[in-house]
Structure 1
Amino acid sequence: MSQISYKDAGVDIDAGNSFVENIKPLVKSTKVPGVMGGIGSFAGAFELPKGFNEPVMLAATDGVGTKLKLAIDSGIHNTVGIDLVAMCVNDLICNFGTPSFFLDYYATGKLDVDVATNVVAGIAEGCIRSECALIGGETAEMPGMYSEDDYDLAGFAVGVAEKSEMDRVSLVKAGHKLIALPSSGLHSNGFSLARKVLFEKMNLDFNDDFNGKPLIETLLTPTNIYVKTFKALKDKIVAMAHITGGGIVENLPRVLPENLRAEVKKDSIKTLPIFDLISKHVDEDEMYRAFNMGVGMILVVEEKDVDFVLSNAEGSYLIGEIVEGDREAVMV
């Protein structure tokens, strides 16, 4: 009777080992003070940073949604890892947490070592931009669950905050100003709608010219990471809202107390060309609920600090203010 191996069942242990060897230098490139040990143990270890009076550990997890479908179909795999890190650490800093380390989960039908290595290279780059360490992860080869070419990603960021600094909502007052930090494009939200409009409704192709380069390059532009801006301007920031799924109208109210409203000047928003293209077939209200519309992060700032923040946050601009009213964000 013939014997069946794990490889016959669709799981290649040798490929997994080869992948681990490939990513060791990538993981090492993200090392920051606090990392204990290296890749290969059962768990990653990180020493609690010093200098906090009442340290609180914060954690955030996310994926990159159907943006992965474009990466898989186009064969461009080295940017979605940056997106994965960005979606997690950009949430973390909104609670005034400084990212410390990151872990990833990569699941696929059949492990392609080169593809997986490119994905992790992006994750490592995202960690470098976030000044945090990649200290572990999991690779799952799951034939029958995913098709051979498909893969999925999940990310997990952990950081530390000072307990006294975490409650930002109570600090927001009427008269505070709203400053936009620009997005790099769609970031990692709204791709199901974008794909339907661009490739089904408009019948566009990945390689169609869009503003002087292939459309796919614009769509796969990685999410901006705002960690360094946060660190540099922390003392001048009252609150922060990461503009992800739900757009400005659903994310900005998360930093508002019950008696205050955020008024955003729609005409002030520097909408990117990709949103102008998609909006040809999507209602304006739906655009503002599905996409960031060019605004990746909104800072709430005291009026006296506006000029300093605008001078020190690249590409930033004023888009509105906090006023008395119901807890909501309105476009005016």
Structure 2
Amino acid sequence: MPDETISALPEALPPSESHDAAPKTRSKAASVSYADAGVDITSGERSKQRIKMLARKTFNKQVLSEIGGFGGLFALDLEKFPQPVLVSSTDGVGTKLKVAFELGIHHTVGQDLVNHCVNDIAVQGATPLFFLDYLATGKLADMTVETVVQGISEACRANGCALIGGETAQMPGFYGDGEYDLAGTIIGAVNRDKIITGANIQIGDVLLGLPSNGLHTNGYSLARKLLFEVAKYGPDQYVNELKDKTGAALMRTHRSYLGVIKKLTAAEVVSGMAHITGGGITDNLPRIIPKGMGAVVDLASWTVPPLFEHLQQLGNVDQDEMMRTFNMGIGLICVIPAELVKKTKAILNRANERHCIIGRIVRGERKVTYN
């Protein structure tokens, strides 16, 4: 063996590696599970089984998969949609959830979520097909999750929409105990020649407003500040100006306009429709107005609900700020050609749908002017 090889060897093994050294005794560490980190998989599985039952109640013959797969399967009805265009939307409930946590009311927020998403695609002429939900929480509370999904399931059935999948995520340390976040995605379809974009809107068309149920799912950060911090109301406190308890006024469900929209689109009387959500009439109506046009809205044409009036009084909120933050009692605006207004009003009257003419389309630069 060459000398350089011998010199490269260690002179002796260190004590820890010597065959004669006494072996060290190691203490066995305690076993740590996922549950110790705050995620209860077993509880989560029990909850998922109950959620499956709720979702199945929304299924129709187009649903080809069970809840629990890696993806939901849905067969598009090509007889109903021979020239199909898919329409999608994703949204959440926002800080309305804070009021739900405070009151322990979790059933209606699922309805809020579905109805909001349904309206967003219905104003483009789309029929809802299926829905996916996402619920993330710190520590999973089985009954709370089930109650939320029950609301989602009921709203899906009411809107003819299948709940084909979703995700319930346990994220301890990210959300506080008893808190969760909620979001959803909806997919709908419309035949290409029935898409409503607002491209056919013309100067002189009439703006017809349909009432909201309340705040719906927008403006809650300001509303909570004014009611709970400025006025220092409790959520269970009856307020004369609201003619209701504070929490009840805030938790009124975001209504679905799908039924009335179907009647109007079937009669082919609408040139465009705007769902009035975050940004109010000020920011949402211009989204459908063609270039070179604007809208004039008459603020005296409808009665603003007491909730909005009281919020404005509490914070001395500027009118422009109110119109950009809240729906102010108008949840949907339909743009109707002047010659079809009479027909449209007859359709709405037969449907017992309250409505009012709130303005007109004029020449302008895609913005709303208030009178």
TM-score (norm 2): 0.86
Count residues with an aligned counterpart: 332
- Name the residue aligned to 1:306: 341
The 1:284–1:212 alpha-carbon spacing in structure 2 relative to 1, beyond 3 Å, is closer
Structure 1 unaligned regions, length at least 5: none
Q: What are the residue-to-residue correspondences of 1:148-187 with 2, within 5 Å?
A: 148-166=177-195, 168-187=197-216
Q: Which amino acid aligns with 1:55?
A: P
Please state how far the C-alpha of 1:9 moved relative to its aligned partner: 0.9
More displaced, 281-290 or 299-308? 299-308
- 1:316 pairs with 2:355: yes
- Name the residue aligned to 1:60: 89
More displaced, 311-320 or 276-285? 311-320
Q: Which amino acid aligns with 2:105?
A: I
Q: Which amino acid aligns with 1:315?
A: R
Contact 2:196 2:272 in 1 (8 A): no
- 1:8 pairs with 2:47: no
- Name the residue aligned to 1:330: 369
- Name the residue aligned to 2:322: 287
Tell me which of 150, 153, 161 is aligned to 1:124. 153
Contact 1:129 1:225 in 2 (8 A): no
Tell me which of 180, 198, 208 is aligned to 2:227. 198
Q: What are the residue-to-residue correspondences of 1:206-285 with 2, within 5 Å?
A: 206-210=235-239, 211-234=242-265, 235-280=268-313, 281=315, 282-285=317-320
Please state how far the C-alpha of 1:212 moved relative to its aligned partner: 4.7
- Name the residue aligned to 2:22: none
Contact 2:274 2:284 in 1 (8 A): yes
Please state how far the C-alpha of 1:129 moved relative to its aligned partner: 2.5
Please state how far the C-alpha of 1:309 moved relative to its aligned partner: 2.4
- Name the residue aligned to 2:19: none
Matched position secondary structure for 1:262:
strand
- Name the residue aligned to 2:141: 112
Please state how far the C-alpha of 1:49 moved relative to its aligned partner: 2.1
**Distance in structure 1 (CA, Å) of the matches to 2:100 and 2:93:** 11
Q: What are the residue-to-residue correspondences of 1:22-61 with 2, within 5 Å?
A: 22-50=50-78, 51-61=80-90
Of structures 1 and 2, the larger Rg is shown by 2
**Distance in structure 2 (CA, Å) of the matches to 1:164 and 1:147:** 48
**Distance in structure 2 (CA, Å) of the matches to 1:2 and 1:42:** 34
Please state how far the C-alpha of 1:101 moved relative to its aligned partner: 0.5
Contact 2:123 2:196 in 1 (8 A): no
TM-score (norm 1): 0.96
Contact 2:264 2:270 in 1 (8 A): yes
Runs of 4+ in 1 over 4 A off after TM superposition: none
Q: Which amino acid aligns with 2:366?
A: R
More displaced, 237-246 or 123-132? 123-132
- 1:20 pairs with 2:53: no
% identical equivalent positions: 44
- Name the residue aligned to 2:4: none
Matched position secondary structure for 1:45:
coil
The 1:68–1:328 alpha-carbon spacing in structure 2 relative to 1, beyond 3 Å, is same
The 1:221–1:293 alpha-carbon spacing in structure 2 relative to 1, beyond 3 Å, is same
Q: Which amino acid aligns with 2:69?
A: S
**Distance in structure 2 (CA, Å) of the matches to 1:53 and 1:170:** 22
Please state how far the C-alpha of 1:168 moved relative to its aligned partner: 2.4
Please state how far the C-alpha of 1:328 moved relative to its aligned partner: 1.2
- Name the residue aligned to 2:331: 296
Q: CA RMSD in A?
A: 1.4
Contact 2:93 2:109 in 1 (8 A): yes
Matched position secondary structure for 1:171:
coil
Q: Which amino acid aligns with 1:291?
A: F
Please state how far the C-alpha of 1:165 moved relative to its aligned partner: 3.0
Q: Which amino acid aligns with 1:116?
A: V
C-alpha distance after superposition, 1:226-254 (max 9, x if no partner)? 11111121122211001011110111011
The 1:183–1:167 alpha-carbon spacing in structure 2 relative to 1, beyond 3 Å, is closer
